Amino acid sequence: MAASAATERRALVAGATGLIGRRLISQLADSDRYTRIHALVRRPLETSEPVVSHVVDFDDLPASAADIGPIDEAYCALGTTIRQAGSKPAFRRVDHDYVVAFARLARDLGARCLLVVSSLGADPDAGNFYLRVKGETETELEALDLPGLALFRPSLLRGARDEFRLGEELGNAAMSLFAPLVPARYKAVSDRELAIAMMQVAETGVSGVRVIESEEIRRLGGTV
C-alpha cells in the first residue's frame, strides 16, 4: 500500500542482506509508512518499489551515497561475527566503523531517529571483545548528538540465516530446553519481533537516547 502524500516518509537501511535487515526491508515495504526505502548494500540487490538499493563503499559512505536525498528515519542492522569477518580488526571494522559511518550519514541526511541493532551486555568496559566493541559503538553513537537514538539490545536472535552460527544455534537450543527458567531479558528474540519493534519505536518517535532490551523488544513485537 502506498503512503499518502500527507505521510510521505523516507527510510535509510544498512545491513539489508542480513537476518534482521532482510526482515526489516520486507516489513517496511509491506507497511504504508514510507514512499521510499533506501537500502545500502555492498553487492547489487534485486528490489522493487518502494525499495531502492544503492551499492556503496562503507569505507567512503559520504561519497558513494551522495545521490540519496533527505530521509526521516535510519535503520542499522549491520553486524557480523569474528569468525565470519576473519579477524578481530575486521569484525570491529563492520560492527564499529561502518555503524558509526552510517550514523553520521543518517545525521547529515536529516534523520530524526536512528535505530540500531546492538547486543545485550554491550559495554565499553566489558572484558569480552564482542561486547566491548558493541559498547564502544554505542558510546560513539551517543556522542553524535542525534535528535533520537534507539539502541536495541536483543539476547539471542532466532531466524533463518544464510550462514550457520554455532553459538546462536547452541544458545537457542538451550533456551528452548530451559525456557521456563530463563529470565525475560535473556529470552531469544525473532527477526520478526525485532523488525516490528524497531518500526514501532520509529513510529512513536525517540527523543534523546533509548535502550530497548529483549523483554521490551518481544513486547513491542507482539509476543509478550
Domains, in order of start, for the chain: 5-219 (3.40.50.720)
Give me the tens of pLDDT residue by residue for the chain, a chain 224 residues long. Answer: 445 444 689 999 999 999 999 999 999 999 989 999 999 999 888 899 999 999 999 999 999 998 899 999 999 999 999 999 999 999 999 999 999 999 999 999 999 999 999 999 999 999 999 999 999 999 999 999 999 999 999 998 886 545 544 444 444 444 454 455 555 667 889 999 999 999 999 999 999 999 999 999 999 998 54
Q: Which pLDDT does position 156 carry in this prediction?
A: 85
Q: What are phi and psi of 44, to 5 degrees?
A: -55, 140
pTM over 0.75: yes
Q: Which pLDDT does position 173 carry in this prediction?
A: 47
Task: Choose the catalytic residue: 75, 98, 130, 187.
Answer: 130
Q: Please give the Cα distance from 120 to 130 (Å, whole number).
A: 11
Catalytic residue list contains 134: yes
Catalytic residue list contains 130: yes
Asked if residues 74 and 111 have their Cβ atoms less than 8 Å apart, the reply is yes
Task: Choose the catalytic residue: 75, 98, 134, 187.
Answer: 134
Q: Which pLDDT does position 171 carry in this prediction?
A: 45
* Distance, CA of 224 to chain centre: 21
> Residue 206 contacts by C-beta under 8 Å, 6 or more apart in sequence?
113, 115, 148, 149, 150
Residue-wise pLDDT for 169-178, tens only, equals 444 444 454 4
Residue-wise pLDDT for 45-78, tens only, equals 889 999 999 999 999 999 999 889 999 999 999 9
